[in-house]
């Protein structure tokens, strides 16, 4: 075959089968000379077994196996066949195993239970559950009778491939063969039922076990509790735990369920319950709770649990420290996070890729991208190469601070090291390119994602649409919305918020309100940003009544207003000349403690007072603003100076400036 220049041919490497031929013809009889030689070189079974076991090379072992058989110096036994089959199974040489079984059959050597288990497991390891079942149906051909042990291995092979429909018939065959299931059988069946979400049937099986004298062990109960928690039935799992004997693994499964739903009070309660019952929580128990507490930002309580862990004599592991480090980074406590890093090293635990990635992500989260980059180089020096998660965190960190050079260099480093970008890395690069108005390059990167079998998702398009809208490229952003759907990405409320904001900023209100109707038709729930964006759209042209109706609808839906909401409403009142109502609203909301006015609030109010009431009232509120520790900015002074010159006919400029500067 000739290959074109510059091309390469990739061939699927297949392990060569190991050919061998054994002399098994009983009609062939050696002559006297060979008989004499045979008697002189006869081997003992123990000698053959010893050579086979000690030979690490499967080809050499097989060569020895066949040579002594063909030389008539030794007749293989069940034990030597089993040893050779076991060695072939370790190398997944299925064809060789089948051939040896046929040789045993020809020589009249019956297959033992242990040997047949090895055969079934060899199929299992290769993911050939159905072939294992076919071999099981031929079991009697090889002089072997089905046993509970063999049935268990067949069932386990089918379970590993989730062939649930085959498991029940096999179990039925087992019962028909007069074989009683043992504890391992029940554990396999329980796991199969739970993996198939048949929890009620699993509970019935527990009762069946008890009726035949088997007390369910920790594995049985842990399997059921874990499955119930995965299905969101945590409370039902809690009730079930109270009815049977407690095990650490069962409590861990239940604690995992509560932590998964962030019911940390209940998880902590279970920890105390374990201690009361005399059970020693293990490192997994403590680590799960510490991880969940850290994830919700409660680092003080996670530290208390960590201290209790030490008091109880339970040593933390990498996962424990990783959780604490993550929690402190999320809380913005960088120095404390590194204190735990140093403590982990002192405990003799070597940092792995998970811990390094936690540190890199935490540093990027706190804007310390340079330090994160240094940690990634430290990883390499310590023999722990950064993976796609490491690079993605770095690129995302550089994107958040608009560092295009840093993001690009990290991207190139990732590609040079043979690490393929994931959707996070691609999305972060799209984001940083858009921040630098490089929309053509960002769009090309999105198209490349699809070609590289890394389809862009909603977050990717949201970053692209946000960049376009921020730069006033609204028409392109609307086209991107259509392209997004073509890629199978469903726009979410964030997508629509960006488009609404972009349309309103360029005064394309009719299209914005058309988009609002689309949001409603699609049944997408509005969030606070949506309400604030649309309120701004109503208030900009002075549509106060409509804005107030929307404000009422927002409150009715349980959406709590923020400072932006109140500032929009106040400015709209001022714009319409209803400044006294704005002042009343200002004072009432501030007194209620739900809102603290900021520089924007005061500047809007001062603008309204200056334009509709008068400079003296404005100066009064300026004094309040300064007394509250809010310093006027350029916009504030511009409003006041503009008002000052408009009122020169009413008050002397020196008098007004004295009032302002005297109190400023």
User: What are the residue ranges spanned by the domains of the chain?
Assistant: 351-451, 457-561, 566-664
Count other Cβ atoms within 10 Å, centred on residue 264: 19
State residue 329's pLDDT score: 95
Q: Which two tokens stand for residue 276?
A: 């009361």
pTM reported for the whole predicted model? 0.73
Q: Is the pLDDT of residue 493 over 70?
A: yes
pLDDT, greater one: 581 or 590: 581
pLDDT, greater one: 26 or 178: 178
Q: Is the pLDDT of residue 75 over 70?
A: yes
Instruction: Find, among 367, 366, 427, 340, the residue nearest to 391 by Cα.
Output: 427
Q: Is the pLDDT of residue 37 over 70?
A: no
Q: What is the mean pLDDT of residues 371-383?
A: 94
State residue 517's pLDDT score: 92
Provide the mean pLDDT of the chain.
86
State residue 647's pLDDT score: 64
State residue 147's pLDDT score: 93
Q: Are 497 and 533 in contact, with CB atoms under 8 Å apart?
A: yes
Q: Is the pLDDT of residue 524 over 80?
A: yes
Q: Which of 107-111, 231-235, 375-379, 595-599 has the highest mean pLDDT?
A: 375-379
Q: What is the mean pLDDT of residues 225-232?
A: 89
* Crossing angle of helices 528-539 and 544-556, rounded to 10°: 170
State residue 409's pLDDT score: 96
Task: Give me the phi and psi of 101, to 5 degrees please.
Answer: -60, -40
Q: Are 615 and 655 in contact, with CB atoms under 8 Å apart?
A: no
> Into which CATH architecture does domain 351-451 fall?
Alpha Horseshoe (1.25)
What radius of gyration do the chain's Cα atoms show? Answer: 37
pLDDT, greater one: 364 or 181: 364
Count other Cβ atoms within 10 Å, centred on residue 516: 17
Q: What is the mean pLDDT of residues 151-158?
A: 92
Q: What is the mean pLDDT of residues 574-589?
A: 88
State residue 648's pLDDT score: 55
Q: Is the pLDDT of residue 1 over 50?
A: no
Percent of the chain with pLDDT over 70: 91
Chain Cα centroid distance, residue 153: 32
Q: Are 190 and 205 in contact, with CB atoms under 8 Å apart?
A: yes
Q: What is the mean pLDDT of residues 8-20?
A: 38
Q: What is the mean pLDDT of residues 452-466?
A: 94
Percent of the chain with pLDDT over 90: 45
Taking the C-alpha atoms of residue 350 and residue 327, their distance in angstroms, rounded to an integer, is 20
Looking at residue 279, the DSSP 8-state letter turns out to be -
Q: What is the mean pLDDT of residues 436-462?
A: 93
Task: Give me the phi and psi of 347, to 5 degrees please.
Answer: -75, -5
Q: Do domains 351-451 and 457-561 have the same CATH topology?
A: yes
H-type helices in 452-508, by residue range? 458-470, 474-486, 493-505
Q: What is the mean pLDDT of residues 234-239?
A: 89
pLDDT digits (tens, 9 = 90+) for 497-518: 999 999 999 989 899 989 999 9
Taking the C-alpha atoms of residue 326 and residue 336, their distance in angstroms, rounded to an integer, is 11
State residue 387's pLDDT score: 96
Taking the C-alpha atoms of residue 501 and residue 532, their distance in angstroms, rounded to an integer, is 10
Chain Cα centroid distance, residue 87: 39
Confidence grade of residue 40 (pLDDT, cut at 50, 70, 90) = very low
Compute the C-alpha angle 204/208/212, nearest 5°. 170
Q: Which two tokens stand for residue 438?
A: 């490089």
Taking the C-alpha atoms of residue 439 and residue 399, their distance in angstroms, rounded to an integer, is 15
State residue 380's pLDDT score: 92
> How far lies 297's CA from each of 317, 320, 324, 341, 572, in Å?
21, 15, 10, 18, 38
> Into which CATH architecture does domain 457-561 fall?
Alpha Horseshoe (1.25)
Taking the C-alpha atoms of residue 267 and residue 256, their distance in angstroms, rounded to an integer, is 8
Q: What fold does the segment set 566-664 form as a domain?
A: 1.25.40
State residue 651's pLDDT score: 46
Q: Is the pLDDT of residue 656 over 50?
A: no
């Amino acid at each position: 075959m000739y290959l074109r220049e510059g091309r390469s041919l990739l061939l699927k490497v297949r392990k060569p089968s190991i050919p061998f031929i054994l002399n098994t013809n009983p009609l062939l009889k050696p002559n006297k000379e060979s008989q004499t030689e045979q008697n002189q070189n006869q081997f003992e079974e123990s000698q053959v077994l010893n050579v086979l076991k000690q030979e690490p090379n499967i080809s050499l072992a097989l060569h020895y196996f066949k040579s002594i058989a063909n030389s008539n110096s030794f007749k293989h036994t069940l034990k030597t066949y089993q040893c050779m089959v076991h060695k072939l199974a370790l190398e997944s040489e299925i064809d060789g195993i089948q051939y040896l079984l046929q040789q045993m059959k020809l020589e009249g050597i019956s297959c033992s239970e242990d040997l047949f288990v090895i055969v079934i497991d060899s199929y299992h390891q290769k993911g050939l559950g159905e072939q294992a079942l076919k071999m099981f149906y031929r079991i009697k051909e090889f002089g072997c009778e089905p046993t509970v042990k063999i049935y268990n291995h067949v069932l386990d092979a089918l379970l590993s491939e989730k062939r649930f429909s085959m498991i029940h018939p096999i179990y039925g065959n087992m019962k028909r063969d007069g074989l009683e299931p043992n504890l391992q059988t029940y554990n396999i069946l329980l796991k199969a039922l739970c993996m198939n979400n048949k929890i009620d049937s699993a509970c019935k099986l527990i009762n069946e076990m008890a009726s035949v004298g088997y007390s369910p062990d920790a594995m049985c109960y842990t399997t059921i509790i874990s499955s119930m928690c995965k299905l969101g039935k945590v409370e039902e799992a809690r009730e079930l735990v109270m009815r049977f004997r407690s095990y650490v693994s069962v409590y861990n499964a239940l604690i995992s369920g509560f932590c998964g739903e962030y019911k940390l009070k209940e998880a902590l309660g279970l920890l105390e319950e374990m201690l009361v019952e005399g059970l020693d929580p293990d490192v997994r128990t403590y680590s799960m709770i510490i991880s969940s507490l850290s994830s919700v930002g409660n680092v003080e309580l996670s530290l208390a649990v960590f201290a209790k862990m030490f008091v109880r004599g339970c040593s933390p592991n990498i996962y424990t420290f990783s959780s604490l480090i993550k929690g402190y980074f999320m809380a913005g406590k960088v120095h404390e996070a590194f204190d735990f890093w140093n403590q982990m090293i002192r405990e003799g635990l070597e940092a792995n890729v998970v811990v390094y990635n936690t540190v890199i992500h935490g540093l990027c989260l706190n804007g310390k991208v340079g330090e994160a980059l240094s940690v990634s180089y430290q990883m390499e020096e310590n023999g722990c190469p950064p993976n796609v998660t490491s690079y993605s965190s770095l690129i995302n960190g550089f994107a958040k601070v608009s560092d295009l050079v840093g993001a690009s260099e990290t991207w190139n480093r990732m590609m040079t090291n043979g690490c393929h970008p994931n959707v996070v890395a691609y999305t972060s690069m799209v984001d940083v390119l858009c921040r630098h108005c490089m929309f053509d390059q960002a769009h090309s990167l999105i198209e490349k994602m699809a070609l590289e079998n890394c389809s862009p998702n909603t977050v990717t398009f949201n970053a692209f649409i946000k960049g376009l809208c921020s730069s006033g490229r609204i028409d392109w952003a609307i086209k991107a919305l259509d392209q997004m759907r073509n890629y199978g990405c469903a726009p979410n409320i964030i997508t629509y918020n960006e488009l609404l904001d972009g349309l309103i900023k360029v005064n394309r209100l009719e299209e914005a309100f058309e988009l609002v109707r689309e949001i409603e038709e699609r049944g997408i729930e509005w969030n606070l940003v949506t309400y604030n964006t649309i309120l701004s759209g109503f208030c900009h042209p002075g549509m106060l009544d409509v804005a107030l109706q929307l404000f009422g609808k927002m409150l009715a839906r349980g959406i709590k207003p923020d400072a932006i909401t109140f500032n929009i409403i106040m400015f709209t009142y001022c714009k319409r000349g209803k400044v006294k109502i704005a002042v009343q609203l200002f004072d009432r909301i501030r007194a209620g403690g739900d809102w603290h006015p900021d520089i924007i609030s005061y500047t809007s109010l001062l603008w309204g007072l200056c334009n509709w009431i008068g400079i003296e009232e404005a100066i009064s509120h300026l004094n309040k603003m300064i007394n509250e520790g809010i310093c006027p900015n350029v916009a504030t002074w511009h409003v006041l100076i503009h008002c000052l010159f408009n009122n020169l006919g009413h008050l002397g400029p020196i008098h007004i400036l004295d009032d302002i500067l005297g109190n400023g």
